[in-house]
Amino acid sequence: MAKSSVLSGIQPTADSFHIGNYFGALRQWVQMQDTHECFYTVVDLHAITAEFDPKVLKKRTLSSFAQLLAVGIDTKKSTVFVQSQVPQHPQLAWVLSCFTGFGEAGRMTQFKDKTQKGGQERSSVGLFTYPILQAADILLYQAQSVPVGEDQRQHLELTRDLAVRFNNQFGQTFVVPEAFIVKESAKILDLQDPTAKMSKSSPQGCVFIMDEPDAVMKKFKTAMTDSGKEIKYDPANKPGVSNLLNIIKAITNEEMSAIEAQFANKGYGDLKTFTGELVVEKIVKPFREKTLALLGDEKELNSLMSEGAQKAEKVASATLKSVYEKVGF
C-alpha cells in the first residue's frame, strides 16, 4: 500500500530555529520520515509577508535548509525544498483565494495578532492571504497529515474547509488533511514569560538551536520561575516550572511523576541548570555543529535544494493541472 503523505513548512525568518519549533514540529517531521511520504518546505514566500531584507532572507533560507538536515531530515527519505522554487504554490493559492471569504480570512487570529502589533496600514495584503498560501502548500501534495504546533491549528481548519468546499463543487480533488499536534510539546513557552509561547520576537526567552552553549545556559539560569518552592507539574499555577519539566520530558521521554521525583529535595536553581544542560547536550550542541558543517559546503546544499524542488514540482504540478482543468482554464 502507498504510504500516506505528510507536508509541513517552516519560515526562514530568523537566523536560527528555536526549541519550540523543534519540539512542536521538527521532531515529529523527523520521526514521520520512516512511515510516511514526507514533503518539508522552507516557506520563503511566507517570509516576505512582513518586513525583510533580501540578502538576509537568502542567507536564512540557506541556513534553514541546513538546519532541517542537521536535525535529522534526510533528503533520501523526504522531499525537502524551498517554497519559492516550486511555482505551483502561488498558482494554487490564487485559485484558493477565490474560494475564500473575505470575512473568513479576516477571522484568522494570527493575522489579527500581527496587525494589532504592526497596525492595519502597515500590514500587507500578503499577510492577510498568508493562510491561503499555507493551504495551497498542503493541498498540492495531497497531505493527510500536517505535523505542527498548536498555533497552526486554525490555519489547518481553514485548509480543511477549503479542501471540502472545492471537492463539493468540483468533485474529489484534494485529500482533506488533519493537523498532527503532539499535545505535550505543542506549545513550548517563553522562558522569561511562561504565559506566552516561545517565539523569536522575544529573544531572551527563546532558546535558539544555533545559540552558543553558554548563552543557552544563561537563558535557562535566568528563566522565570514561580512562587513557592516545590517542583511540581502544574501548568495553571506553576507555568514556569511546568514549562521546564515539559522540556525535560520532551527530551527524556520519562513519565512526569518520575521527573518530579528526581527533583523531590531540590530547588528551582537545580531544575534550571539541569534543563539547560540537557538542552545543550542533546539539542543545541549536536544541531549547531552539524548545521555549521553543512553550511561549509554551499554548493552541495544548493544542489540538494534543486533536487528537492524538482521532486516537489512533479507532485505539485499534477495537482495543479487537475485544479486548472476543473475550474475551466
Catalytic residues: 114, 197, 200
How far is the C-alpha of 138 from the C-alpha of 174, rounded, in Å?
Answer: 10
Task: Output 41 or 225, the one with its CB closest to ligand TYM.
Answer: 41
Tell the smallest beta-carbon distance from residue 246 to ligand TYM (Å): 10
Question: Measured from the CB of residue 155, what is the shortest distance to ligand TYM in angstroms?
Answer: 6
Q: How far apart (Å, rounded) are the C-alpha atoms in residues 32 and 40?
A: 11
Residue 95, phi then psi, degrees to nearest 5? -60, -45
Q: Using alpha carbons, select from 329, 286, 220, 239 the residue that is nearest to residue 294.
A: 286
Minimum distance, C-beta of residue 150 to ligand TYM, in the bound complex (Å) = 7
Chain Cα centroid distance, residue 90: 20
Return the number of the residue (33 or 262) whose C-beta is nearest ligand TYM: 33
- The kind and range of the H/E element at 167 are helix 153-170
Query: Where does this chain bind ligand TYM (CB under 6 A)?
Result: 7-11, 20-21, 24-25, 43, 46, 134, 137-138, 146, 148-149, 151-152, 186-188, 197-198
Place of cell 516537489: 312
Smaller CB separation from ligand TYM, 11 or 225 = 11
Please tell me the distance from the alpha carbon of residue 229 to that of residue 219, in angstroms, as a whole number: 20
Q: Which DSSP letter does residue 189 get? A: B
Query: In the complex, which residue's CB is closest to ligand TYM?
Result: 24
Shortest spacing between CB 270 and ligand TYM, in angstroms: 24
Cα 231 to Cα 16: distance, rounded to the nearest angstrom: 31
Cell of 265: 529535595
- Looking at the Cβ atoms of 24 and 269, the one nearer to ligand TYM is 24
DSSP string, 47-106: HTTS---HHHHHHHHHHHHHHHHHHT--TTTSEEEEGGG-THHHHHHHHHHTTS-HHHHH
CB of 274 to ligand TYM, least distance (A): 21
Q: Which amino acid is at 64?
A: S
Residue 106: strand, helix, or coil: helix
